[in-house]
A and B are shown apart, each in its own frame.
Chain A
Amino acid sequence: MSFSRKRDRLVIILIILIPAAAVSSWFLAKSVNNVGETHYITIEGSNTVFKIIDTTYKAFAEYHPGVIISVTGSGTGSGITAIIDGQADIAMASRPFEDTEQIAANGSLNAVAFAKDAITIITHASANPLDLTIDVARAIFNGTISDWSDPLVASAGLTGEIQVVVRESGSGTRDAFNELVMGDSTQIEPGSQYVNDALQKSSNQLIKDGVAANSNYVGYIGLGYLDSTVKAVTIDGVAPTLANVLNDSYFIQRELFLITLGIPVGMVYEFINWSMSPEGQDLVLETGFINVAPTTDDIFT
């Protein structure tokens, strides 16, 4: 084929070159071991657990230079899906894996409980300390008590309509709260459903932001998110503290997991092992959650 126009020739070259370049780089990339498989750890899953991992992975990387750790908080469900599909190494989970998931994984899912979380009911920072029974707490969240002037909650000293803020369906935090406070994790039992106009947020941080900014809001978060911008509610006189969780007197608590497909090996094993070690458990504490294994303090006292 001859062409009178140089430009046409150029276009043809480009049209052949670009796909060729793409295909060859694809081959190249596939053949090159991605920085060595054992040195690339991919972690995906729960945003709640991400709060811990966001700190621990940096520390771990310091101890193991040359390891690249990629972390993505995209939801517990998608994390477990990712490891089942072989697309990630570790799943961060704020709930135990379900039967359907274990079936999909041919029974090879392996969960390590590496931290504990307590669920705290929170109010605006300006509120007086509030003590609730489980029944009253349930009444607030299912809308039976709808105004802060109600005698059962008036001691908080807040005004206005109560605005309930909760986590979205599928959240481990919500599941645990529903089971332990609302009385039914599936929320079928009468009285176990949230009030109609309850706002649903996709993370603990967002709930906390809302409660911190609005004096009439009430919500629940994981203990690791608790800070001075909000006030924690005591349940039957028991405050949500580390000690009370460890001695089980504060009973709205649950475990957080790192899940793998099969028994972890290599760097993945190192990471999980390290998370259970005193240094790792130190970091769990540091991020505000509760350790399940001895910390460095525990060992040396």
Chain B
Amino acid sequence: MSQNQTETIEEPTIESLEEDKSTSEESILEIGKQKISWQKIILMLFAGISVIVVILIFIFILVNGLKVIPEVGFIKFLFGTSWNPEADQYGILHGIIGTVMVVLIAMVVAVPISISCSIYMSEIAPQRIRKILKPSVEMLASIPSIVYGFFGLFILVPAVKFIFGLPTGENALSGGLILAIMVIPTIVSITDDAIRAVPSSFREASLALGATKWQTIRKVVLPAALSGITAAVILAFGRAIGETMAVLMVAGGASQIPKPFFNILVPVDPLTAIIARELGEAAQGDTQFHALFGIAIVLFLITFVVNLTGDLVIKRFTKKFKGA
């Protein structure tokens, strides 16, 4: 036990308890019988500021983005197939498909690899390997997105072009792969934390019952860590959906809907790339400006749906494993 705890917790006699309470936690507020300490007030203040910030950003995006509905029309915006601000056309269907494609590719590639890696890292690897592996994965996280854009554009894209014999290597596949690499550290780190947080008593009990390590992992540890793992995946989803720089440089930016719709080898234009390219040029208060914020709202909605699904998954699975 750390030294701190011996400082705080002396032998609890009745007198010292009374004394302790009155000297170390002075309540500023007393609402009825509830004593609210200054610590709680400060916490509330800080938390309140955070919440206000979050709300502000929401409102900002909503206020500017909702204007697109009267100006362009809900259906025309979401399902229009032509994006041409010069001609007053603001259809983002190709953008939605582009985002969905690259994000799906990224998650399909990243999730199995990441979870496998973090299982290995936390349960199987010997300490000295883990000591090297964990910082390495986090080093991947410290590479900024513009540098990933470089990697993508100068290395991955020519490779994809060559391997598949395409007119261009900038397509959904390249975008998805770069995104996958970018979210791997997120999933690995958080999953690792989640797995390590499973109490060792779980594992010991399982092993004592004769299960092999792998069986233990599969049937005991992973389900217990499911909440954290899902959080990791959701966070990664969010990152993938919102990533700008890398897909801007790598996914092609062609305003088209792939034919057939699952063709990942043609250039696409994810929603974030559209915003990134054009927000610097759009004049504030323009319809184009509002349309770009409308795209941000759509991104919200996609993230929202993903989060909701994730939360439902968590709820359903943690129900099975209530209690230690």
A residues near B, CB below 8 A?
1-5, 8, 15, 74-78, 80-81, 98, 100-101, 104, 160-163, 168-171, 175, 178, 185-188, 193, 196-202, 206, 213-214, 216-217
Q: How large is the interface on B (under 10, 10 to 19, 20 to 34, 35 or more residues)?
A: 35 or more
Complex CA–CA separation, A248 to B50 (angstroms): 59
Some 5 contacts from A to B, beta carbons below 8 A apart, are A5-B24, A185-B86, A186-B86, A213-B158, A214-B161
Of A3, A78, A162, A197, which is within 8 A of B281 by CB? Answer: A78
Contact between chains at B253 and A200 (CB < 8 Å) = yes
Query: Could you say which residues of chain A place their CB within 8 Å of the CB of B267?
Result: 197, 199
Q: Cβ of B277 and Cβ of A202 under 8 Å apart? A: yes
Listed in ascending order, the chain B residues whose CB lies under 8 Å from chain A are: 20, 23-24, 26, 42, 83-87, 158, 161, 167-168, 170, 248-249, 252-256, 266-267, 269, 276-286, 288
- With A170-B277, A199-B254 already in contact, 6 other A-B pairs whose C-beta atoms are closer than 8 Å: A77-B283, A100-B283, A168-B253, A188-B87, A197-B267, A199-B253
Q: A202–B281 Cα gap in the complex (Å)? A: 10
Which of A104, A170, A188 has a CB less than 8 Å from the CB of B278?
Answer: A170
List, in ascending order, chain B residues with CB within 8 A of A200's CB.
252-255, 269, 277
Contact A76–B24 (Cβ < 8 Å): no
Q: Which residues of B contact A100 (CB under 8 A)?
A: 283, 285-286
Q: Is the CB of B167 within 8 A of A216?
A: yes
Q: Would A196 and B254 count as touching, CB distance under 8 A?
A: yes
B84 and A197 form a contact (CB under 8 A): no
Judge whether B281 and A75 touch: CB under 8 Å: yes
Tell me whether A196 and B256 are in contact (CB under 8 A): yes
Bound-state Cα–Cα, A201 to B170, Å: 11
Q: Collect the chain A residues with CB atoms within 8 Å of residue B249's CB.
A: 206
Across the A-B interface, the 6 shortest Cβ-Cβ residue pairs: A75-B280, A170-B281, A200-B253, A77-B281, A196-B256, A161-B167
Considering the chains assembled together, what is the distance between the CA atoms of A100 and B284 in angstroms?
10
Complex Cα–Cα for A98 and B85 (A): 14
Q: What are the residues of chain B within 8 A of A162 when measuring CB–CB?
A: 167
Q: Which residues of B contact A199 (CB under 8 A)?
A: 168, 170, 252-254, 267
**B252 surroundings in chain A (CB, below 8 A):** 197, 199-200
Given contacts A160-B167, A186-B87, contact A2 B23 (CB under 8 A): yes
| Distance in Å: Cβ of A73 to nearest Cβ of chain B | 9
B151 CB, nearest partner CB in chain A, Å? 15
**B26 nearest in chain A by CB position:** A1
B283 x A4 contact (CB < 8 A): no
Given contacts A196-B256, A197-B266, is CB(A187)–CB(B280) below 8 Å? Answer: no
How far apart are the CA atoms of A185 and B85 in the complex, in Å? 11
